[in-house]
Amino acid sequence: MDTIELNINGVIHAVAVEPKWTLLYVLREVLHLTGTKEGCDSGDCGACKVIVDGEARNACRLMARDMAGKTIETIEGLWNGGALHPIQQAFIDCGAVQCGFCTPGMIMSAKALLDRNPDPTEEEIRQAIRNNLCRCTGYYKIVEAIGEAARRIREA
């Protein structure tokens, strides 16, 4: 095992990792940050989406040892002492949450988009979530929620 430092949600964690451990495994099983979901474990569903150095990435496809020195954001990092992040609130208000399994990954993809583009078009929103699968919706309410969150963030 090697000990590495991971910057997750602004907190440095010293973690002993095996070479084969993924970031998803470390988040869920070592650090107990279970908001990042394990879906397909092959990079196809987006349930494990996190933001690494500003880019939405699938944690199941990232080796933990390669994440040392990078800035990692998870769904837990959106917590603001009792207030939901505008993206989370928009998902609730627009009815974009069904079973909720894909929601953390969708929200992290949306955050990565809105961090770099605060006024995306519908096509840009759809492109940002193209690698996030949802079994419950037709994506309409999710796209609507991301557009609404963008508006709220711009007006804040």
What pLDDT does residue 123 have?
98
What pLDDT does residue 137 have?
85
Any bridge partners for residue 55, and if so which?
A: 52
The model carries a pTM of 0.96
What pLDDT does residue 138 have?
85
Tell me the pairing of strands 55-58 and 49-52: antiparallel
Provide mean pLDDT across the span 121-146.
96
What pLDDT does residue 80 have?
81
Other CB atoms closer than 10 Å to residue 154's CB: what's the count?
Answer: 11
Taking all residues of the chain, what is their mean pLDDT, rounded to a whole number?
96
Q: What angle do CA 78, 10, 91 make, to 5 degrees?
A: 10
pLDDT of residue 126 exceeding 90: yes
